[in-house]
Structure 1
Amino acid sequence: MFYHQDAELDGLIIHRVGNKSQDEFYSLSEKPIDISFDLILPDLLKQYFLSPFSKLNEVYRFFHPNEELNLNEVYHFTKQFFEEKIGFQDYSEQVVKHLYEASTHPKIKPGEVYVVNLKNVQQEGEELNAVGIFKSENKETYLKVYPQNGGFELDYEQDAINVNKLDKGVIIINTESEEGYKVLVIDQTNQSEAVYWKDEFLQIRPRNDAFQQTGNFLKVYKNFVNEKLEDAFEMDKADKIDLLNRSMNYFKTKETFDNEEFQEEVLSNPKAISLFNDYKQEAEEDFDIAFQSNFSIANQAVKKMESTYKSILKLDKNFSVYVHGKRELIEKGFDDEKGMNYYKLYYENEK
Structure 2
Amino acid sequence: MKIIAHQIGNKINGNGVKLSQEELHTDETMQELLQQYFLGSFKSEETYQFYSDSYLANNFVYFVVSQLFENKSQFINASKDLGRLLYDAAENPRIQGGELFIVYFPAENENDVDKIGIFKTERKESFLKLFSQPDTFDIEKDQGISLAKIDKAALIFNKDKDTGYVLQVVDNNKNGDMYYWFEDFLKVKQRTDDYFHTQESLMLYKDFIKKQLPQEFEVTKTDQADFLNKSIKFFNEKEEFKLDEFTNEVLGDEKVIESFVNFKTDYEQDMQINVAEEFPINSSAVKKSQKHFKSIIKLDKNFHIYIHGDKSKIQEGQDEKGLFYKLYYEKQV
Common fold by TM > 0.5: yes
For residues 8-41 of structure 1, the C-alpha deviation after alignment (integer angstroms, 9 at most, x for no partner) is: xx10001111111112211111110121x342x1
Q: Does structure 1 residue 64 correspond to structure 2 residue 52?
A: yes
Name the CA distance, whole Å, in 1 between partners of 2:242 and 2:162: 27
- Gaps of at least 5 residues in structure 2 are 202-224, 226-232, 254-270, 286-333
- Aligned to 1:116, the other structure's residue is in SS state strand
| 1:121 to 1:97, Cα distance in 2 relative to 1, 3 A | farther
Cα 1:194–1:171 shift into 2, 3 Å: same
Provide closer, same or farther for how the CA distance between residues 50 and 157 of structure 1 changes in structure 2, counting only shifts above 3 A.
Answer: farther
Q: Distance in 2 between matches of 1:106 and 1:177?
A: 34
Residue 15 of structure 1: SS of its match in structure 2?
strand
Per the alignment, residue 186 of structure 2 pairs with: 202
Question: Residue 244 of structure 1: CA displacement?
Answer: 8.7
CA-CA distance at 1:181 after TM superposition? 0.4
Using the aligned pairs only, state the percent identity.
29
| Closer/same/farther in 2, CA of residues 264 and 188 from structure 1, 3 Å limit | same
| 2:24 equivalent in structure 1 | 33
Q: Which residue of structure 1 lines up, in the alignment, with residue 85 of structure 2? A: 98
Deviation at residue 208 of structure 1 after TM alignment: 2.2
- 1:236 alignment counterpart: none
Report what 1:295 is aligned to: 276
Residues 245 and 104 (structure 1 numbering): CA distance in 2 closer, same or farther, change over 3 Å? closer
Deviation for aligned residue 1:110: 1.3
Cα distance in 2, alignment partners of residues 217 and 110 from structure 1: 34
Q: How many residues align?
A: 239
Match of 2:3? Answer: 12
In 2: Cα distance, 1:263 partner to 1:43 partner: 49
Change (3 A) 1:213 1:200: closer
Q: 1:186 to 1:212 in 2, by over 3 A?
A: same
CA shift, 1:108, in A, is: 1.3
**Which amino acid counterpart does residue 21 of structure 1 have in structure 2?**
I
State how far apart, in whole Å, the 2-side matches of 1:293 and 1:27 are.
44
Residues 327-342 of structure 1: pairs in structure 2 closer than 5 A: none
1:49 and 2:34 matched = no
Q: Which residue of 2 aligns with 1:212?
A: 195
The match for 1:119 among 92, 106, 109 is 106
State the AA in 2 paired with 1:90.
N
Pair 1:131 & 2:131 matched:
no
Partner of 1:173: 157
Residues 291-332 of structure 1: per-residue CA shift (max 9 Å, x gap): x99515456x88xx9xxxxxxxxxxxxxxxxxxxxxxxxxxx
TM-score, normalisation: structure 2: 0.61
Could you give the per-residue CA deviations for residues 159-178 of structure 1, whole angstroms, max 9, x where no partner exists? 21101120111111110000
2:79–2:102 contact (8 Å) kept in structure 1: yes
1:142 alignment partner, one of 123, 127, 138: 127
Question: Amino acid of the residue matched to residue 72 of structure 1?
Answer: N
Q: Give the partner amino acid of 2:195.
A: Q
Q: Give the drift of 1:130.
A: 0.5
Q: C-alpha separation between the residues in 2 aligned to 1:247 and 1:29?
A: 52
Q: CA RMSD in A?
A: 3.8
| 2: CA distance, partners of 1:263 / 1:155 | 66
SS in 1 for 2:107: strand
Counterpart mapping for 1:215-254 below 5 A: 247-248=238-239, 251=240
> 1:156 offset after TM fit, Å?
3.7
SS of corresponding position for 1:128? coil
1:274-313 superposed matches below 5 A: 294-298=275-279
- SS at 1:166 equivalent: coil
Please tell me the residue identity of whatever aligns with 2:51: F
Partner Cα distance (1:32, 1:111) in 2? 18
Looking at structure 2, the residues matched to 189 and 114 of structure 1 have their Cα atoms a distance apart, in angstroms, of 16
**Deviation at 1:247?**
1.3
CA contact (8 A) 1:172 1:184 kept: yes
Q: Read off the aligned partner of 1:212 and give its amino acid letter.
A: Y
| Alignment check: 8 A CA contact 2:100 2:120 kept | yes
2:15 to 24, 29, 46: 24
What's the secondary structure of 1:205's corresponding residue? Answer: strand
Match of 1:184 among 148, 168, 171: 168
Match of 1:330 in 2: none
